[in-house]
Amino acid sequence: MSSERPLLAEIFSTPLGWVGLVVGPRGLERVWLPRHRSALLREMRSAFPQLTLLDEPDATRPWRQGILEMMKGRPPSFPDHLNWDKLSTFTRAVLVAVRSIPWGTVMTYGQLAVAVGRPRAARAVGRAVAANPWPLVVPCHRVVRADGIGGFGGGVELKRTLLQKEGIWR
């Protein structure tokens, strides 16, 4: 029998759809962007077949509360406890820089490349941002193209909505 603590999961409703969280012994494992509950549950079980789904578990509370604040247009507060183990050194550096983008501001992929010391790596930065396992918590929606909004895993409309909640996009 394994002595490792189980993965705990929660699916909760937001004004933009259902959001999923998975927390393990090493911290927050993954955040799923808002979507329909049934699709979300399928994706979560596919990625983490061993997870235990709970209603409002204490383990996910600080992230749930922060996401709900964000959905109300208020700056969120999130714990630092994220499981970085599966990320490359470069992706980690990019996502640490993304975490530092203040509420209500954006940064371009090029600016982010400069910030991580790789000024010619805007495309690689874009791939690292796309690999973010914690969207909303690590606010990758605040990274935009130099000539427009750019893409987003949850779709451009969701990105626009999130930026509007921060007062920074029309």
pLDDT in tens, 63-115: 999 999 999 999 999 999 999 999 999 999 999 999 999 999 999 999 999 99
CA 64 from centre of chain: 12
User: Quick check: is 84 in a domain?
Assistant: no
User: Quick check: is 79 in a domain?
Assistant: no
pLDDT in tens, 132-168: 999 999 999 999 999 999 999 999 999 999 999 999 9
Q: Are 37 and 19 in contact (CB under 8 A)?
A: no
Closest to 32 in 3D by CA, of 16, 51, 50, 11: 11
Kindly state whether residues 60 and 116 are assigned to the same domain.
no
Kindly state whether residues 60 and 95 are assigned to the same domain.
no
Strands 52-53 and 8-14 turn out to be parallel
Quote the domain boundaries for residue 101.
89-165
Which residues does residue 144 pair with via DSSP β-bridges, in sequence order?
Answer: 108
Kindly state whether residues 58 and 121 are assigned to the same domain.
no
CA 20 from centre of chain: 11
CA 44 from centre of chain: 15
Which residues does residue 24 pair with via DSSP β-bridges, in sequence order?
Answer: 27
Kindly state whether residues 67 and 93 are assigned to the same domain.
no
Q: What is the DSSP string of 35-58?
A: E-HHHHHHHHHHH-TT-EE-SS-G
Number of domains present in the structure of the chain: 2
Kindly state whether residues 61 and 12 are assigned to the same domain.
yes
Catalytic positions:
140
pTM (two decimals): 0.92
DSSP for residue 142: G
User: Quick check: is 56 in a domain?
Assistant: yes
Query: Of 71, 100, 126, which marks where a domain is finished?
Result: 71
Alpha-carbon distance values, 120 to 114, 150, 170 (Å): 8, 18, 29
